[in-house]
Amino acid sequence: MKKSSFTHSLSAIALISASYLILPALLPAPLLAQQVSNVSPGLNSDDVPADASISGVFRKKDGVGVDLNSVRIYVNDQDVTNRSTITANFFSYRPDRPLSPGTNQVKVAYKDEKGKDRTVIWTFDVQQPQAKVEITSVTHNAESKALGPGSTFLATIKGTPNANTRVLLVENGKGVRQLPVQEVSPGVYVATLNVTANDNISEGIVVARLQRQNQTTFRAASQPLVLSKQASSGEIPPTQPNNPNQPEKPTRPNNGQSNNRPLRPLFTSHQNGDRINTRGFILTGQTQPNAQVKVKVTASLSILGGFVNLSNSTLVDETITADSQGNFQVDVPPPPTLAPGTQYTIQAVAKNKDETSQAVQFGLVQE
C-alpha cells in the first residue's frame, strides 16, 4: 500500500476550491476553524476494510455553518447523497456493496450559510480481498487401530493453500504436543510422529490450525487416536479394494533412517473414491526416504453399466525416487478423452534396497 505522511504545510492535505480538510489533532489551533473534520476512513489511511463506512463532522467557521440542502457526497465520482445520512453536525454513508480494492476517493461539496461554495476531497486505500481460510478435512491413519512403537502416525489436513499451519495433538485431555507440518502439495498438509514406547495415549485428539494474514481457523479430526506400546508396529495403510479386510503386513525393518516409516506408499493427496474436478491432477504420498516408487495410473470411460468401454489409456507408468523425508509426487495428465465419469485407477509399489512393499490400489472419479 502507498504510505503517506502529514507535513506542517497545508499542501499535505487535499485542497479543492480553497477548502481544506483539517484534522484537529494534526494542525495547530489557528487552523481549526474548518467546516469538515474527523473524517473516516482517515486521510490517506491504508488497509481499510471493504465494508467500511464513510463519515465526517461539520463544524462552524466564524459562526457560519453548512447549508444542509446544498451538501452533495460523492464516492469514486458516484453521487451517493440520497443514500447518505446528513445532519447539522455530521454526515455518513454506508456502501451497499464492498468498496473497490486500492485507492478510493470521497468528495463532499456544499455551500456555507453565506452561499460560498466549498469542496473537500480525501482518499484512502482499501485492502485487497482475502480468500477465506478454511479446513476441509482432518484425517489420520490411527482411526481404526492403535499404533505401536516403530510405526509412523500420519495426519493429513486439506484446506487453503500457502497457510501457516500447525497440528496439535491433545493427549489424554491434558498435554498438548505440536507436530511438524509440511505442505506436500497446494492445500495438502501432512504431520508425522515416529511412535516410541514412551508414547502412551489412550485418547488423542488431532487439531489443525490454519492461519493466513489476519484469518485463523481450527478443525479437529472426527475420530480419536490411540498410541500404545502394547500395539503392534506398522501403519494403517489403504487396503486393496478387492480385499478390504487385509491390511499390509509390517515390513522387515532395515538399518538406518527408513526404520521409522513403512515402505508401502501412503497417498496423502487423495483417498479412494475422491472426485477430480480439474484437467489432470497431482498425486502426493509418503514412503521410506529415498525409496523407489513405481506408479501406474490408468483412465477408463464406460457406459451402459460397463458393458461398453469408450476409452482406456495409461496416463502414468514410471518409477520415481522419494526425497530424504520420504515424500514423492506424481503429475497425472488428463486422458485423451476427458469426460465426466472417467475412472482413474492408481497402483503403486515401493522398493528400498532388497525389500519390496505390498501394492497399493485405489480409484478416483472425474466430475
Residue 109 neighbours by CB under 8 Å, 6+ apart: 70, 71, 72, 74, 117, 118, 119, 120
pLDDT in tens, 290-335: 999 999 999 988 654 444 455 678 999 999 999 998 999 999 998 8
Provide the pLDDT for residue 34.
58
CATH of region 10-126: 2.60.40.1220
Task: Encode pLDDT of 35-89 as tens digits.
Answer: 888 899 999 998 888 889 999 999 888 888 899 999 999 999 999 999 999 998 8
CATH of domain 130-236: 2.60.40.1930
**Which of 122, 75, 107 is closest to 94 using CA atoms?**
75
Q: What is the CA angle 259-262-265, rounded to 5?
A: 140
Domain segments of the chain: what residues? 10-126, 130-236, 238-248+257-367
Secondary structure, 3-state, the chain: CCCCCCCCCHHHCCEECCEECCCCCCCCHHHCCCCEEEEECCCCCCCECCCCCEEEEECCECCECEEEEEEEEEECCEECHHHEEECCCEEEECCCCCCCCEEEEEEEEEEECCCCEEEEEEEEEECCCCCCCCEEEEEECCCCCCECCCCEEEEEEEECCCCEEEEEEEECCCEEEEECEEEEECCEEEEEEECCCCCCEEEEEEEEEEEECCEEEEEECCCCEEECCCCCCCCCCCCCCCCCCCCCCCCCCCCCHHHHCCCCCEECCCCCCCEECCCCEEEEEECCCCCEEEEEEEEEEEEHHHCEEEEEEEEEEEEEECCCCCEEEEEECCCCCCCCCCEEEEEEEEEECCEECCCEEEEEEEC
pTM over 0.85: no
Distance of alpha carbon 275 from alpha carbon 34, whole angstroms: 63
Residue ranges, the chain, pLDDT below 70? 1-34, 232-260, 302-311
Q: Check if 130-236 and 238-248+257-367 are the same fold.
A: yes
Residue 273, C-beta contacts closer than 8 angstroms, at least 6 positions apart:
362, 363, 364, 365
Predicted local distance difference test score (pLDDT) of residue 63? 85
Closest CA to 314 of 296, 337, 339: 296
* Domain 238-248+257-367 part of CATH 2.60.40.10: yes
Specify the pLDDT at position 322.
94
Query: Which pLDDT score, from 0 to 100, does residue 352 have?
Result: 93
